[in-house]
Structures are given as C-alpha cells and as structure tokens.
Amino acid sequence: MPRRARVLAAVAAATFTGLFFGWPVATILARGLEAGALRRALTNPGIRSVAWFTLWQAVASTALTLLVGLVPAYVLARFRFRGRRLLLAFVTVPFVLPTVVVGAAFLALLPQRWHQTVGAILAAHVFFNLAVVVRTVGGLWGQLDRGVEDAARTLGASPWRVARYVTFPLLRPAMIAASSIVFLFTFTSYGVITVLGGPRHPTIEVELYRRAVLLGDLPVASALALLQLIAVSALLLWWSRAQARGSRALALRPAAHRAPVGRERVLVVGTALALVLGLGAPIARLVVRSVQGRHGLGLAGWRAIGADGWAALATSARLAMIAAAIAVTIGGAAAFAIAGGGRLGRVLDSGLMLPLGTSAVTLGFGLLITFDEAPLDLRGSAVLIPIAHALVGIPFVVRTVLPSLRAIDPKLREAAATLGAGPWRAFTAIDLRLAARPLLAGAGFAVAVSLGEFGATSFLTRRGNTTLPIEIAKALGRPGEVSVSRGAALATVLLLATAAIVFLVDRLRPEASTW
C-alpha cells in the first residue's frame, strides 16, 4: 500500500476507535469522578459485597480452570494419538460459544438445586475458558526441550520434583498469560452470571446494568465502570510486568508428539473421555432440553419460538452483517497500515486491542451515556449496536489478516515494479489478493462475535431491534416449562449458527495461523 494511503488508513482506524471507544471511556471517567459518585459507590455495603464476590469468584474460576486444564494441556502437547486434532478442535468449541448459550447449557444440565449457585457459575467458567489454558500452556509445553527433564530424571528426581522444579518454572510465562486472560474474562463475566447467578449472585457487571437501567443511577453506575476499568488496567499492568520478570531464554523446538506407552495410554484415554463427556454434556443437554416438555419429548419449545424469536434471529443476522462490514473495513485498513511497519503501526496495533481489555457492559454503557444528546444523539438508533460489536470484531480482523501481510515476500513487489506495475497496481495484484481469504476469515469472526454479544447489547437494544441473545435471556428468565424449552431452542439455533461460522472460518484461515 502506498505510504499516503497507509497514513489515511491509520487515521481512519484511529478516528473510529477514538470516537466510539476513547470518547465513551473518557465520559465514564468524567461521570465517575463527579462529586460524591465515587464515594457513594465505595461506601455502599451492597456494592462492596458485589465487588468482593466479583473478585473472589474470578480468582476461584481462574484457579479451577488452570488446575483442570493442565492435564489435557500436557496430553495434547506431548502425545500423538488418533483423533488428537479433532479433540483439540473440540476443546476450543466452548470458547467461541456465546456466553448466554453457555449459561443456557448449564441451566439445562444442572439440577434445580444448583441454579443460582456459585458452583454453577464456577463450572460454567471452567467450561468456557478451558481452551485458554490448553492452547496457551499446551502450546509452550509441546515446544520445550525434553532433554532438561530427562537429565533431571537421570539424576534421580521423582516425576513430581521434575514437574515442580523444572517443568513448571519453564511454563511460568504461559501459565501467567493463561491465568490473566481467564481472570479477565471471569472478572468481567456478564452473560453467564445473568443466566446462572440470577439476583442472588450479582457481579460488578450486573450491578452496573441494574444501577444504570433499572434504577437510573448513572453517577454510581459510572463510578462502578470506572472502578472496573482501574481494576482491569491494574491487571494488565501486572501481567506485563510479570511476563517481563518471568521471561527467559528457552531452547524451544518444533512440537514433536510421540505415541503413548504403558500407563501413558491410560492417561491419554482417560483424558480424552473426560474432555468429551465434560465438554459435550452441557451442549448435548441443551439440545435435548429444547425438545423436552412436561409430558416428555416434543417440539413445544421450537413451536413457541414464534415470530418474536425468528425476528430476533433476523435482527441479529442483519446487525452482524453491518458489524462485520465495519470491522473488515476499519480492521482491514488498519492491518495494511500496521504491516507497513514503523512506530505509527505499533501504536495503532496497541490502540486497536484496547476494546478487548474492556468489558462489553462498560463499553455499552459508555456508548449509551456519550451519544445521548446533540449533535450525536443516537439513543433511538440501532446503529450503536453494530458499532459496539465492530469495536470487538476489529482486533480479530487485524490479528487474522496481519500475519499474511507480514509474510509477503518483498521481492514480489520488486518484481511487479520491474514489470512496470505502479504502487496501486502492485497492491491490488499482490497484497490485496493474498489478504482476501484472511479478510473473509476475519469477517466470519466478526459475525460470530456479533451474533453472540450480550453485554453491550443489553444497554443498547431498543424495541424492534431485540437480538437473539437478548431473546434467549428473556425466555430463560420467565417461569414455565414451555418458556424454558423455548430458551433452549433459541440457544440451540444460536449454537448451530456460531458453530457453522467457526467451521467456515477455520477453512478460510491460513494454515500457519494459530487461534
């Protein structure tokens, strides 16, 4: 891409992000620091209780996810067996599911006495985030030099001492990274908490929504959003410093999987069965619950979807297409600008990742209170929903397209110039052509993100533009067998749509790219 075009693309991406992310965050900061708002939030016993629950459930969820994920991470990283790649893909499926679908799946799986309990929340968080540990820790585990571990065993160290003093210290950076990501997702969890926690176990996200929408207490809601932003920023700062302190030069090798022998076969088979049963049970139970009624199996839940349910699906699809178009346009342009290198590219790359570190509820709330007056009064418009979805989708587009652009051999452009092609001709014939499939994959990611987004949409939805996740939450919140079956049927529709999109994205992504 010519230099002037790269600068224009960078300016366009920075302007979009600054207008619809930076400005709302600044508005939250201003409202949260209003006289008395922050003090009212900090001195309210109910809010302090909610904040404490938010913190400790996130810590517990992170610890459980790390504990449960280490064994499958080891098995999938070290051993070669039939169905390994399929099992690795199956482990990743829960992570791409909409959070409201995960909540609905566990609502269908767990007995009534588990509903609105901490145990249900922790189980759903482990289910949703297990792939983070398996992929992040397992990715490094498979590349470690096994000669160090073999040397420790030769010197008489027991398997536990090898793990404690050799393996785990080498895996520390990956474990910190995985723990930080899981903590971030569980600390800002909204969909799972709304469906499974109910009014008995609210988090800061749920309390923020209650204060802003149900009570109309915008100053305290802003203060809560500000406190959450501070907590998340502190986490990211700690993560960066811990990664720097824990990083060390490692002798990494290409992953080489070996066939299990002896007791290792029992470990592999047992782990595979546990993953299939543990991850497949909630999904299977959700599908069964959609055809289950008071008098046995039936289609009452599917028939009850009605015009409102299908209209919500159509609305979600329409908004997802708009969000994907915005994300591909802004994210694609940004990727080309970033691939050009230089300080401008690095700054832009970091800035576009910021929405991923901000909770969806905070993002939706910020958009709501920012664009509520002239000259940009967008409260009654549906345009804020795809904009919010696009802000989250843009980083996925950038991360999908950028590796392909950086892998282009500069000699191709030099050859094109030698043959008389101008900068734009070379750009369209080489860069744009090679980026076509990654751009389509990025669009698929953006569609999947938009279809399942629940937090920001809870603030921004209006009568006539209810999305499918909102309709699912409404159905599950109503009493009655038919209503619950209807919610499960709607969640199954969203599950199938998301799975189909992820499958297509996986076919479109370059073979060398990672998740």
User: What pLDDT was estimated at residue 240?
Assistant: 64
Q: How many CB atoms lie within 10 A of CB 166?
A: 18
Asked whether residue 319 falls in the same domain as residue 368, the answer is yes
User: What pLDDT was estimated at residue 276?
Assistant: 93
Task: Please report, for residues 30, 49, 53, 364, the alpha-carbon distance to residue 201 in angstroms, rounded to integers and kept in the order given.
Answer: 29, 10, 8, 22
DSSP one-letter code for 375: T
Q: How many domains does the chain have?
A: 2
**Residue 449 has which token pair?**
């993100």
Asked whether residue 18 falls in the same domain as residue 144, the answer is no
**Residue 280 has which token pair?**
């497949």
**Residue 405 has which token pair?**
């652009």
Q: Which candidate, 219, 206, 214, places its Cα nearest to that of 369?
A: 219
Amino acid occupying residue 150: D
For residue 200, give the 3-state DSSP assignment: helix
Among 263, 290, 317, identify where a domain stops. 290
Asked whether residue 171 falls in the same domain as residue 63, the answer is yes
Q: What is the pLDDT along the chain (515 residues), one digit of tens a residue?
A: 667 777 888 899 999 999 999 999 888 888 877 767 888 888 889 999 999 999 999 999 999 999 999 999 999 988 888 888 888 878 888 887 888 889 889 988 988 888 889 999 999 999 999 998 998 888 878 777 666 666 777 777 777 777 777 777 778 888 888 888 899 889 988 889 988 888 888 999 889 888 887 888 888 888 888 888 888 778 777 766 665 665 554 545 555 677 888 888 999 999 999 999 999 999 999 999 888 877 677 888 898 899 899 999 999 999 999 999 999 999 988 888 888 766 777 788 878 887 877 888 888 888 988 888 777 777 767 788 999 999 988 988 888 887 777 766 667 666 766 766 666 666 676 667 777 888 888 888 889 889 988 888 888 887 778 899 999 988 888 888 888 899 899 999 998 888 888 777 766 655 444 44
**Residue 141 has which token pair?**
């585990």
Say if CB 459 and CB 367 are below 8 A apart: yes
Asked whether residue 227 falls in the same domain as residue 363, the answer is no
User: What pLDDT was estimated at residue 270?
Assistant: 94
Among 273, 290, 307, identify where a domain stops. 290
Whole-prediction pTM value? 0.80
Asked whether residue 277 falls in the same domain as residue 301, the answer is no
How many Å apart are CA 326 and CA 321, to the nearest integer?
A: 9
Asked whether residue 12 falls in the same domain as residue 146, the answer is no
Q: How deeply is 289 buried, as exposed, middle or buried, from its count of CB atoms within 10 A (0-12, 13-18, 19+)?
A: buried
Place of tokens 């499918």: 468
Range of the domain at 114: 34-290
> How do residues 64-74 score in pLDDT, each as one tens digit?
999 999 999 99
Helix and strand totals (H; E) in the chain: 26, 2
**Phi, psi of 480, rounded to the nearest 5 degrees:** 110, 145
Asked whether residue 302 falls in the same domain as residue 200, the answer is no
Asked whether residue 310 falls in the same domain as residue 389, the answer is yes
Place of tokens 């979805």: 389
> How do residues 368-410 score in pLDDT, each as one tens digit?
888 887 777 777 677 889 999 999 889 888 888 877 777 666 6
Q: Which candidate, 55, 32, 98, 36, places its Cα nearest to that of 496?
A: 98
- Of the CA atoms within 13 Å of residue 101, those in its CB half-sphere come to 27
Domain of residue 150, CATH code? 1.10.3720.10
Asked whether residue 161 falls in the same domain as residue 306, the answer is no
Asked whether residue 366 falls in the same domain as residue 477, the answer is yes
How many Å apart are CA 379 and CA 459, to the nearest integer?
A: 10
Asked whether residue 258 falls in the same domain as residue 307, the answer is no
User: What pLDDT was estimated at residue 246?
Assistant: 56
Among 235, 267, 290, identify where a domain stops. 290
How many Å apart are CA 136 and CA 179, to the nearest integer?
A: 10
Asked whether residue 43 falls in the same domain as residue 124, the answer is yes
